[in-house]
Amino acid sequence: MNRAPKEIQGLAARRAALKLFDAVLRRGETLDQAAAAATAGLSTTSDQALARAIAGEALRWLTDLDALIDSATRLRLAEDAKARTVLRIMLAQWLRLDTPPHAVVATGLPLLAGGPRRLAHGVFGALVRQPASLPPVPTLPARVTQRWGERAPAVAAGLAVPPPLDLTLRDPSATEQWAETLGGVSLAAGHVRLPRGTMVGDLAGYAEGAWWVQDLAASLPARLLGPGEGRRVLDLCAAPGGKTLQLAAAGWRVTALDINGRRLDRLRENLARTGLTAEVVVADALAWEPGEPFDAVLLDAPCTATGTARRHPDVLHRIGERQIAEMADLQARLLDRAIAWIKPGGRLVYAVCSLEREEGEEQVRRIAAASDPIRADELPPGLSPTPEGWTRTDPGMLAGQGGLDGFFITRLAA
């Protein structure tokens, strides 16, 4: 009786990584969008995490990996050749994840069943024998470098490694206590930073809702509205909900609105875990109307998310002029509506996790609302407002302390 050959250990995770990588470059999906389908056949969370890590590092270092492949081939492989794609993820494992070359070969070449295995084996072997290496900082795609201009080298340096884990505390007065309990460092009141790879659910304070995961830069917009003192605030485009939790913890009466009901389920879960309260509304902000104006509005608008490339390196390769223009149009429409919902004397904070000027600076210059300048003492040490009173962060900032995501933030007065 013939038995099916036993699958090579670890091959399923590499197959899933290949699917993730293809979904980004061929179909323009995000890693998050592609993850469920690509990793559906993996039985353990560790395999799912490995597939994500392989694809993520291959995307983060794509330009440099391609340069290595091209240096070891007599005829240049086509951009979409499967051999090139498999070599990318093989090299990412060896050079970024410290996988031994023999294990890379054993789990990589089977991905080329019926294809040019000998070619891929030869190229990989030649690079191992050199031995090849990556530069200290990933080389950004030419289009991205041109767009980000003089900021590009610093941003690239900030993308060299995936980010640490940031937590926002429900009670900022307990910052020192939680930093000590969790063995982390704090870069601002109400913030604790832990090493990458920390298992969130196992940490002290998780079950009782003492904190939630939120990048330091992502916590800034809600901070800039200050204490709520029982006043009403609209968190527009609220999912997945970190800013809603911040505002509720700061004493605001929060209405959290988002068009995506499934993503709001995560907010409801975190509200229950933390014991905080908010009115959660599933609606399209372009059609919804409030019953009365708010004391403040926080609009963390949908955007291209190019500022999150540290944790989502797919944005380096998915986002182009069309996506930027589409997001800028949506942001303009949302901003025009949001301003109309503020009481006289109220404030609006507008934010995007994007490095593109069309989504940040140009949005503010377009509207006629008065600025309420952000002060240096409202920001964590090491950050400062622009001369216009805005805040612009990027992954190259606070580099010696683990960095942060890229955001544009402004505060306007009604």
Mean pLDDT of the chain: 95
Given a cut of 70, whether residue 1 has pLDDT beyond it is no
Segment 273-283, tens digit of pLDDT:
999 999 999 99
Q: Where in the chain is the domain with CATH 3.40.50.150?
A: 215-413
Q: Where in the chain is the domain with CATH 1.10.940.10?
A: 11-129
**What pLDDT sits at residue 5?**
55
Integer angstrom CA distances of residue 299 from 228, 238, 256, 335: 16, 8, 11, 8
Task: With CA atoms as reference, report the closest residue to 352 among 285, 284, 403, 304.
Answer: 304
In the block, tokens 């683990």 appear at 402
The C-alpha atoms of residue 101 and residue 91 are separated, in whole angstroms, by: 9
What is the distance, to the nearest Å, from the Cα of residue 357 to the centroid of all Cα atoms in its chain?
A: 18
Global pTM?
0.93
Token couple for 307? 């500022």
> First and final CA of the chain: distance in angstroms?
79
Token couple for 169? 């505390």
Is the distance from CB of 218 to CB of 284 less than 8 angstroms? no
Total Cβ atoms within 10 A of residue 267: 22
Helix H or strand E segment including 349: strand 342-352
What are the beta bridge partners of residue 300?
351
**What pLDDT sits at residue 55?**
97
- The mean per-residue pLDDT over the stretch 383-400 comes to 95
- The mean per-residue pLDDT over the stretch 208-213 comes to 96
- The mean per-residue pLDDT over the stretch 161-178 comes to 96
Given a cut of 90, whether residue 4 has pLDDT beyond it is no
Segment 300-340, tens digit of pLDDT:
999 999 999 999 999 999 999 999 999 999 999 999 999 99
> How long a stretch of residues is the chain?
414
- The mean per-residue pLDDT over the stretch 119-143 comes to 96
**What pLDDT sits at residue 8?**
83
Given a cut of 80, whether residue 209 has pLDDT beyond it is yes
Which of these is catalytic: 353, 374, 379, 397?
Answer: 353
The residue ranges of DSSP E strands in 214-321, in sequence order, are 232-236, 253-258, 279-282, 294-300
The C-alpha atoms of residue 212 and residue 245 are separated, in whole angstroms, by: 8
Active site residue 303: no
DSSP 173: G
Is the distance from CB of 194 to CB of 165 less than 8 angstroms? yes
The C-alpha atoms of residue 69 and residue 53 are separated, in whole angstroms, by: 20
Yes or no: domain 215-413 corresponds to CATH 3.40.50.150:
yes
Half-sphere exposure of 365 (CA within 13 A, CB side): 8
- Please name the amino acid found at residue 146: Q
Assigned CATH topology for domain 11-129? N-utilizing Substance Protein B Homolog; Chain A (1.10.940)
Token couple for 143? 């289009």
